[in-house]
Amino acid sequence: MAKSVKLLLTENVDNLGIVGDVVNVRIGYARNFLLPRGLATEPSDELLEQLAEKRKQAEKELAELRKQREALIKKIDGLELTMSRSCNDAGHLYGSVTQQDIASALTELEFPVQPREVRLSHTIKRIDTYDVLIKFDSDLEATIKLWVVADRELDTEREEMEFDNEGNLIEKPAAQADAEGDAAQTSAPAEAAASE
């Protein structure tokens, strides 16, 4: 049993071809997507002739789109983008920065980018700097620098807590807590020197 079938595209299909192309596709893709939507049909010489004018128009549109994308690549390559997000004091985001978020931010700056053209190597879930690939085609790509920053001042100092035998928090006077902190700082170098 054949696993693929030859079809003639009657419309442009992303990542497959343009109108008038004869393509080999899997039977399931043809049966469940291309044929029901009228994007493809059985190839014939008559249909190829009928679609010739439509194909010329599609080729012209693709050439224009490529020029626009080449100009866009020159503008955004090396662009720095800052996004402010809610996070905890350790810098972990409460949500994540998605392809949609980055595409929307670039579009607001008048750089029309689709979410599928934003390529993330991993999920962005921390406050940090990231290099993000924008890829329009195999040979049309740019890299932008994304700064993910906290939406507030982070409290990075943590106070140690003591608990009694029942698990209740023991309140320390502020002077005692400061003295214990100073003692811990001075004893650490002495311990390190003793271990050498």
Q: What are the chain's domains?
A: 4-50 (3.40.5.10), 73-150 (3.10.430.100)
68-98 pLDDT, tens digit each: 989 999 999 889 999 999 998 888 999 899 9
List alpha helices for 22-159, DSSP H: 27-29, 45-50, 52-76, 99-108
pLDDT confidence of residue 108:
93
pLDDT confidence of residue 128:
92
6 closest CA partner among 45, 38, 32, 41: 41
C-alpha torsion 183→184→189→192, nearest 10: 130
pLDDT confidence of residue 174:
52
Q: What percent of the chain has pLDDT above 90?
A: 35
pLDDT at 11 over 80: yes
pLDDT confidence of residue 167:
66
pLDDT: is 147 or 152 the higher one?
A: 147
pLDDT confidence of residue 181:
52
The mean pLDDT value of the chain amounts to: 82
* Mean pLDDT of the region 152-175: 66
Residue 110 CA to residue 145 CA, distance in Å, equals 17
| Least confident piece of the model among 35-44, 98-107, 136-145, 168-177 | 168-177
Do the Cβ atoms of 100 and 115 come closer than 8 Å? yes
The DSSP symbol for 154 reads: -
pLDDT: is 189 or 97 the higher one?
A: 97
pLDDT at 194 over 60: no
How sure is the predictor about 136, in pLDDT bands with cuts at 50, 70 and 90?
confident
pLDDT confidence of residue 178:
53
pLDDT confidence of residue 55:
87
Q: Phi then psi for 77, rounded to 5 degrees?
A: -65, 120
pLDDT confidence of residue 157:
62
